[in-house]
Amino acid sequence: MLSLTVATLLCFIALPIISLFVRVSPVTLWTRLGQPVVRQALWLSLGTSAAATLLVVLFGLPVAYVLATREFRGKRVIQTLVEIPIVLPPTVAGVGLLLAFGRAGLAGGALKAVGIELPFTTLAVVVAQLFVATPFFISSATAGLAAVERRYTDAAATLGATPAFGFIRVLLPLALPSVLAGAAMSWARALGEFGATITFAGNLPGRTQTMPLAVYAALQNDLAAAVALSVLLVILSFSILLGLRFAPWGAAVGGAPARPRRR
Amino acid sequence: MPRSEGLLLDLAVAKRFGEFALELEAAVAENETLVVVGESGAGKSTLLRLVAGLERPDRGRIAVGGRIYFDSATGTDRPPWQRRTGYVAQDHALFPHLTVFENVAFGLRAARRSPVDVIARVTEALARLEVGDLAERRPGEISGGQAQRVALARAVVLDPAILLLDEPLAALDVRTRAQVRGVLKTVLGTLPTPCATLFVTHDPFEAMVFGDRIAALENGRVTQVGPREELLAHPRSPYVAAFLGINMFRGRIVSRDGGIVRIRTGGEGNEGELSAVDPGPGGAEVIAVVHPREIALFRQAPGGSAQNTYVGAISELVPEPPNGERVRIALATRPPLVAEVTDRAVTQLGLHEGLEVTAIFKATGVTVFR
């Protein structure tokens, strides 16, 4: 009974992925990948998701550090707030972003004053990805930093390390597996972003049409192109997953820091 | 009392943890080791963490080497990284991702010492702790005893004003413990800069070997502090009496014969002789310890060739623990001994105060420290 359940679930997950690979011949796939629209979408996706991931780490790390090492009033509130994008339907996130940073949005006027107009630009794509991807990094990095045993940071402090020195030389290296796992998950989330992007940034080929959007667009008139893009996305996402599993820090995904390895 | 000009640690603090109130006073002189003994939960580790700055007192004052680390009156509170303390925890806490060399170099790098200086000092410190050949290993690849030496090197390389040792030998097995104890004793005796040591332990042997003075901590308070001989002679609480309730003698080796040494014990009321297994080359001054359970009691002297045979009257019988099934028996032998037997043996032998008995223990039952 149990094995049947497992088998059913495995089929349910594997079948759609297998279907993508058997539907269209490899030759057709290869020619479709050569199309400008596909290439544009690929580079746009890689560029924006990389930028979003970089920003996630840059802003997320200090937040994770504070959440992991300090006790203060309202910590729970902040933790909940930071995790909202996980449960928020992406389209709703897009509407929210539009109402906040759009031309008539709450912060739109201020942005316009400094010469920034976000909606329907490539930057808006990055903002949408940033919004939905941040929580994944923060929860993983916070867990990783909090899991570093107090005795190590205590030892660093008594050896004369300021908190900054201790963070760079002790805390971050020991939490690196979780921090990298968080970054990778954020990247995967950013790469697959659809709802918030199409709502906030639109679907403009070459500017805001990332791969998931291009898949959706191609589905209207060119199934082979849609499949080609999908296969490419599957391969990219799958490499992230495999990287997480089999990289030196792989065992620690979502968990405690791995035992450091010998060089 | 230590002379105030040589005073390195001067501490009087109070801190509450819920129901538990800690109220501590301690003074340690230059190049002096104050051993802090007490049961777990008495506040020993907290004392060290307070000095290191890892815990904050509610009120009081901590001064090390004339520098105020904490003073609730003036609001002074130096963070740990601005205190010159060498803190060594029981579990060594070596950074697992750094090599032994980088672990020891850590504090020097934090202080932005020049690379040449770092290499010279780390190499010297590792050699001093006899772990120079481990420099490129990771903490996961060395033994517990080696790790504890590296942790000591990591602390002493910074020339701390005060060493804070939290049961540094407790996690080691008996054999390793003896080795590291020897190295530690040498290191503490040869620190290049003025340094006081606070040494926390629950092991009476270590207290005797390291403690210039011993402080007993009970329920968050220092109940007795003084030279080890004073605590031995006049324990002021049942805990101190029980803690030091082992036969411990300072003495000197007067003769050697076939792997057995003869030790003449000294100190007021402790004069006598005993035989022990030869501890090997080294100084003649030793501390000899006989655990009370190593001593067998007889009403009539048995035949045979036990190396240590004493005859004397029973001066006291004390159940241990109170109302327990074992009895401590103090004997007016030379040197005076305390034996520990079961209450069944007391009944069978008909032991009572004033009765003359023969006490016997083997030379292998004597532990000799230098």
Mutate to test the interface with B, among A71, A153, A159 (most CBs of B within 10 A): A159
* CA A3/CA B316 separation, integer angstroms: 73
Block residue for tokens 């898949």: A215
B204: its two tokens? 């009476």
In this prediction, residue B1 has a pLDDT band, given cuts at 50, 70 and 90, of: very low
Pairing relationship of beta strands B67-71 and B7-17 according to DSSP bridges: unpaired
The answer to whether the beta carbons of residues B100 and B136 sit under 8 Å apart is yes
pLDDT attached to residue A10: 94
Looking at the predicted structure, is the pLDDT value of residue B201 above 70? yes
Chain A residue numbers with beta carbons less than 8 Å from the beta carbon of B138 are 260, 262
Of A152, A157, A169, the CB nearest to B80: A157
pLDDT attached to residue B360: 92
Of A151, A157, A260, the CB nearest to B97: A260
pLDDT attached to residue A213: 95
pLDDT attached to residue A263: 33
pLDDT attached to residue A248: 64
pLDDT attached to residue B323: 59
Q: What is the least distance, in Å, from the CA of A150 to any CA of chain B?
A: 10
Q: Which residue has the higher pLDDT, B319 or A98?
A: A98
Least confident of A50-64, A148-162, B98-112, B259-273: B259-273
Mean of pLDDT values over B155-180: 89
Chain B residue numbers with beta carbons less than 8 Å from the beta carbon of A159 are 81, 106-107, 110, 154-155, 158
Q: Is the CB of A154 less than 8 angstroms away from the CB of B54?
A: yes
Q: What is the least distance, in Å, from the CA of A54 to any CA of chain B?
A: 25
pLDDT attached to residue A250: 46
* CA B153/CA B160 separation, integer angstroms: 11
Q: Which residue has the higher pLDDT, A152 or B247?
A: A152
pLDDT attached to residue B6: 67
Q: Which residue has the higher pLDDT, B28 or B292?
A: B28
Chain B residue numbers with beta carbons less than 8 Å from the beta carbon of A152 are 93, 95
* The pTM of the whole model exceeds 0.90: no
Looking at the predicted structure, is the pLDDT value of residue B287 above 50? yes
List, in sequence order, every residue forming a beta bridge with B16; answer none if it has no partner: B21
pLDDT attached to residue A255: 38
Looking at the predicted structure, is the pLDDT value of residue A259 above 50? no
* CA B232/CA B223 separation, integer angstroms: 14
Chain A residue numbers with beta carbons less than 8 Å from the beta carbon of B53 are 157-158
Mean of pLDDT values over A142-148: 95
B54 and chain A: CB distance < 8 Å anywhere?
yes
In this prediction, residue B320 has a pLDDT band, given cuts at 50, 70 and 90, of: low
Q: Which residue has the higher pLDDT, B111 or B286?
A: B111
CA distances from A155 to A45, A160, B166 (A): 44, 9, 12
CA distances from A10 to A14, A21, A222, B187, B209 (A): 6, 17, 29, 63, 66
Least confident of A137-146, B55-64, B349-358: B349-358
Looking at the predicted structure, is the pLDDT value of residue B75 above 50? yes
* CA A133/CA A101 separation, integer angstroms: 18
pLDDT attached to residue A106: 87
B308 and chain A: CB distance < 8 Å anywhere?
no
List, in sequence order, every residue forming a beta bridge with B10; answer none if it has no partner: B27, B63
What mean pLDDT is reported for chain B?
87
Q: What is the least distance, in Å, from the CA of A163 to any CA of chain B?
A: 9
Least confident of A79-83, A221-225, B195-199: A221-225
Least confident of A201-205, B176-180, B192-196: B176-180
Beta-carbon-side half-sphere exposure of residue B194 (alpha carbons within 13 Å): 11
Q: What is the least distance, in Å, from the CA of B84 to any CA of chain A?
A: 8
Q: In chain A, what percentage of residues exceed pLDDT 90?
A: 64
Mutate to test the interface with A, among B49, B50, B54 (most CBs of A within 10 A): B54
SS3 A232: helix
Looking at the predicted structure, is the pLDDT value of residue B56 above 90? yes
Q: What is the least distance, in Å, from the CA of B209 to any CA of chain A?
A: 26
* Minimum CA–CA partner of B154 in chain A: A159
Chain A residue numbers with beta carbons less than 8 Å from the beta carbon of B141 are 262
Mutate to test the interface with B, among A69, A71, A158 (most CBs of B within 10 A): A158
CA angle in degrees (0–180, nearest 5) for A208-A212-A217: 80
Count CB atoms within 10 A of the CB of residue B114.
9
In this prediction, residue A107 has a pLDDT band, given cuts at 50, 70 and 90, of: confident
The answer to whether the beta carbons of residues B228 and B214 sit under 8 Å apart is yes
Q: Which residue has the higher pLDDT, A237 or A263?
A: A237
Looking at the predicted structure, is the pLDDT value of residue B71 above 90? yes
Looking at the predicted structure, is the pLDDT value of residue A252 above 50? no
Looking at the predicted structure, is the pLDDT value of residue B305 above 70? no
Mean of pLDDT values over B269-286: 84
Mean of pLDDT values over A32-47: 89
HEC profile for B273-323?
Answer: EEEEECCCCCCCEEEEEECHHHCEEECCCCCCCCCEEEEEEEEEEEEECCC
Q: In chain B, what percentage of residues exceed pLDDT 90?
A: 45
Mean of pLDDT values over B70-98: 94
Chain B residue numbers with beta carbons less than 8 Å from the beta carbon of A160 are 81-82, 107, 110-111, 158
Of A157, A165, A170, the CB nearest to B95: A170
DSSP labels, B113-129: --HHHHHHHHHHHHHHT
* CA A134/CA A154 separation, integer angstroms: 29
* CA B353/CA B370 separation, integer angstroms: 35
CA distances from B107 to B101, B119, B132 (A): 11, 12, 18
A51: part of which helix (H) or strand (E)? helix A36-69
pLDDT attached to residue B322: 55
ipTM: 0.79
Of A152, A158, A260, the CB nearest to B80: A158
B93 and chain A: CB distance < 8 Å anywhere?
yes
Segment B56-61 long-range contacts (CB within 8 Å, at least 24 positions apart): B56/B15, B57/B13, B57/B14, B57/B15, B58/B13, B58/B14, B58/B15, B58/B16, B59/B13, B59/B14, B60/B11, B60/B12, B60/B13, B60/B14, B61/B10, B61/B11, B61/B12, B61/B13
Q: Is the CB of A154 less than 8 angstroms away from the CB of B91?
A: no
Chain B residue numbers with beta carbons less than 8 Å from the beta carbon of A169 are 95, 106, 109-110
Per-residue model confidence as pLDDT tens digits over B123-146: 999 999 999 999 999 999 999 999
Q: Letter for the amino acid at B314?
A: I
In this prediction, residue A125 has a pLDDT band, given cuts at 50, 70 and 90, of: very high
Greatest mean pLDDT among A183-187, B237-241, B269-273: A183-187
B110 and chain A: CB distance < 8 Å anywhere?
yes
Per-residue model confidence as pLDDT tens digits over B232-260: 666 677 677 677 767 778 888 999 888 88
Q: Which residue has the higher pLDDT, B116 or B18?
A: B116
Chain A residue numbers with beta carbons less than 8 Å from the beta carbon of B54 are 154, 157-158
B154 and chain A: CB distance < 8 Å anywhere?
yes
pLDDT attached to residue A188: 92
The answer to whether the beta carbons of residues A173 and A257 sit under 8 Å apart is no
Return residues 122-141 of B near A (CB < 8 Å). 138, 140-141
Q: Is the CB of A157 less than 8 angstroms away from the CB of B111?
A: no
Q: Is the CB of B110 less than 8 angstroms away from the CB of A159?
A: yes
DSSP one-letter code for B267: S
In this prediction, residue B8 has a pLDDT band, given cuts at 50, 70 and 90, of: confident
A214: part of which helix (H) or strand (E)? helix A211-221
pLDDT attached to residue B232: 67
Beta-carbon contacts of residue A50 (< 8 Å; ≥ 6 apart): A187
